[in-house]
Structure 1
């Protein structure tokens, strides 16, 4: 095929243009064949869990996925609108052989995506995704009669998932007032249900999906809506999810943002206190704020940093057995309870920490001080030469000497666009901006196409 379909998080694109019903059907058939040949379905009739977010395009894509799986002899359990981590959980809890989630996460409504989970609710590795892509549209022997798959709904999916989430905390949340921004997405029912069942007083906003309004001016990419609601209702804390609820950001009672780094720091201390932080280590990415690294190091907690992307965080966690990892964007993985990032789980764990300590989220987040961070994208350059240009390397070295231990610099070629990202952290925003601008000029001068 001319272009690789699978990206870092499944297959994603403009629904009905890049991601068509035909492609969704073919991908599902191919996935069934590849997993069957690798022994996943050995000795039994295969079962798949299929869920989606609230995009209107999810309806026809769900029909296509179901048709593909059933035509390949796979029984299908339809769980409806459910967060991505909910589909992963039920794939494991129901002992299914395969999970399929239809979502484009935080992308705008016209996009959609397909994400596959293997048995146990784990993401497929690169080799399996490559095999699925290579097998598209190949001739195959179709089952007939009783050998075709059956399709049925699983009506208690939200209740089962919410109960699982609530089982992960040890304290009731009575007396805590929470605003939850559901981004008109997949957590619009499951999120408020889980928090209310745990005892919190929940004001749900952006929880009225109509198929068109997912992520539209709300959710984790538009925190101003949550900030205003927390202040208006006098809430103790607010949480914002994205369209498929695999990430979570927060605001405190005054409306100040608590980002993914701060949430990770709160949970790291919480897990260590409970004896659940494996090797007293947290996995983060190179984009994590230096203040996060300094704060946890000062607390005796090691920070392992990976390339940007939750899949790299997850790979490191799997390889080393670590129990907590995540990104500044709010994608937090608690491996004791979930195989992927889970925004509702993250919110519950933070609330549990608040209930256990009697502290506000602002007090808990004060464990770290964020250094001012400036990110400049420089387009139209040859990103392949980013780390080979000696003049650019010298400019970076000079800037690093200027910062000393008070900041850091990261030049990162984009993984998807012809641009270089220049990230600078410093003691003041002015210094960070000045150094980032200076380095961006060197990138333009040295790497222009």
Structure 2
């Protein structure tokens, strides 16, 4: 059995890669591992379980709940809520474990399982490894220790979760959104009720699209991975800005009043300046990944804000933030972590904070985002290759070295295997867009030939 956990939980095609049996088994294994680690010591364990609206989430939720209850864990079933809501409720309710069923921005046939530890934080790598090991042992014959009678877990719906989470979001805003007209694209996903409710309570006038999930239409031509509908709606309605989430609403991308995209780097830049002004940007530092545009780094240097860089993945951003006490970090893709108010990327919170900055300053989002100039950056996804060899292929290493010599100090190259999908990402940054496209295209061809 290959490693099940990627950079963002366990993910795959529902009912093919990610089966009910796997979901149940991993849930039981997680309960046993956390019990062994002392997480449940001296009390009856409780877990918060939520999901996005995917049809497969219905049977996977049932499997997870059954697995946890069979291991003696009481379950609070919060239903369809964003990933950051499940993380928040895990902490706010004092639960020992949180479980979210979602494949985030992936297409509808996929689904995933993400575990949160007490406090709403992602599990450490060593705990994930231990869960895999215990699950594998069980598959080869090791029996579970099963409680009986009153020892089995009890299950109840926790309907208060949505209101509790929305109240938290609105309660941490530095100012209201009165006077702003905002278009929200919910990707027919987990925030379809939460986000409009939060923005409305904060005072915004709303136009909402992509907020009618039917279990099959999540991320389908809408949301943060497909911004065209949002761009058109912002212009059509004369809105001040638009906000787009992905399927589980841990991401946020934006659109300014002209219909131009505002990406995660620009959002981070705007929020960094706002938080510094409020003396909330601890150590005057922002954390981002190697995928961040060079223009972001240059803007932060110009503004006197320190930029700390990590590997790709919001978990690595979060680890750096927690280790050093930083308050703000994120990714170009729109994962933004505001650690004083969330334990993971929170798309609704990010969108609210961005809109609050527009309302507070009276400036357009376009003007605020102009604090950084995005240098031309081309990203090519190369599917159906052996991504495990991306760092060991001599042919690929030679091609990358040649590209770096060509770009010199005005650009850079980054190749990495996706942590959630079967593909290799080729990123090229250059002063000239045509040069970036040319180099990226050549490297993508080498990836296909060398790793195909």
Paired residue for 1:399? Answer: 406
Q: How do residues 330-409 of structure 1 correspond to structure 2 at under 5 angstroms? A: 330-377=334-381, 383-385=390-392, 391-392=398-399, 394-401=401-408, 404=409, 407-409=410-412
Corresponding residue SS for 2:391:
helix
Question: 1:109 & 1:325 partners in 2: Cα distance?
Answer: 28
Q: Which of 237, 260, 266 is residue 262 of structure 1 equivalent to?
A: 266
Corresponding residue SS for 1:66:
helix
CA deviation after TM superposition for structure 1 residue 396, in Å: 3.6
Paired residue for 1:305? Answer: 309
Paired residue for 1:14? Answer: 13
Aligned-residue CA RMSD (Å): 2.0
Paired residue for 2:297? Answer: 293
Q: Which of 268, 273, 277 is residue 277 of structure 2 equivalent to?
A: 273
Paired residue for 1:195? Answer: 199
Is 1:241 the counterpart of 2:241? The answer is no
Q: Which of 220, 225, 243 is residue 224 of structure 2 equivalent to?
A: 220
Paired residue for 1:411? Answer: 414
Q: Which of 425, 431, 446 is residue 427 of structure 1 equivalent to?
A: 431
CA deviation after TM superposition for structure 1 residue 309, in Å: 1.2
TM-score (norm 1): 0.94
Aligned in 2, Cα 1:387/1:412: closer, same or farther, shift over 3 Å?
Answer: farther
CA deviation after TM superposition for structure 1 residue 400, in Å: 3.6
Q: How do residues 307-326 of structure 1 correspond to structure 2 at under 5 angstroms? A: 307-326=311-330
Is 1:106 the counterpart of 2:100? The answer is no
Question: 1:221 & 1:394 partners in 2: Cα distance?
Answer: 31
Corresponding residue SS for 1:293:
helix
CA contact (8 A) 1:387 1:393 kept: no
CA deviation after TM superposition for structure 1 residue 430, in Å: 2.0
Paired residue for 1:83? Answer: 82
Question: 1:178 & 1:12 partners in 2: Cα distance?
Answer: 33
CA contact (8 A) 1:285 1:309 kept: yes
Aligned in 2, Cα 1:141/1:411: closer, same or farther, shift over 3 Å?
Answer: closer
How many residues are paired up?
443
Corresponding residue SS for 2:217:
coil
Is 1:204 the counterpart of 2:208? The answer is yes
Paired residue for 2:119? Answer: 120
CA contact (8 A) 2:403 2:439 kept: no
CA deviation after TM superposition for structure 1 residue 4, in Å: 1.0
Instruction: Provide, for residues 288-329 of structure 1, a one-character-per-residue CA deviation record: whole Å limited to 9, x for no partner.
Output: 111111111100111111111111111111222111111111
Question: 1:61 & 1:378 partners in 2: Cα distance?
Answer: 30
Q: Which of 145, 169, 173 is residue 169 of structure 1 equivalent to?
A: 173
Question: 1:135 & 1:205 partners in 2: Cα distance?
Answer: 43
Aligned in 2, Cα 1:262/1:387: closer, same or farther, shift over 3 Å?
Answer: farther
CA contact (8 A) 2:390 2:451 kept: no
CA contact (8 A) 1:395 1:439 kept: no
Question: 1:418 & 1:226 partners in 2: Cα distance?
Answer: 28
For structure 1, which runs of at least 5 residues remain unmatched after alignment? Answer: none
CA contact (8 A) 1:411 1:420 kept: no
Paired residue for 1:57? Answer: 56
Aligned in 2, Cα 1:442/1:4: closer, same or farther, shift over 3 Å?
Answer: closer
Question: 1:298 & 1:247 partners in 2: Cα distance?
Answer: 27
CA contact (8 A) 2:186 2:247 kept: yes
- 419-428 or 94-103, which moves further after superposition? 419-428
CA contact (8 A) 1:51 1:79 kept: yes
Aligned in 2, Cα 1:32/1:355: closer, same or farther, shift over 3 Å?
Answer: same
CA deviation after TM superposition for structure 1 residue 383, in Å: 2.4
Is 1:140 the counterpart of 2:147? The answer is no
CA deviation after TM superposition for structure 1 residue 17, in Å: 1.2
- 82-91 or 355-364, which moves further after superposition? 355-364
CA deviation after TM superposition for structure 1 residue 425, in Å: 2.0
For structure 2, which runs of at least 5 residues remain unmatched after alignment? Answer: none
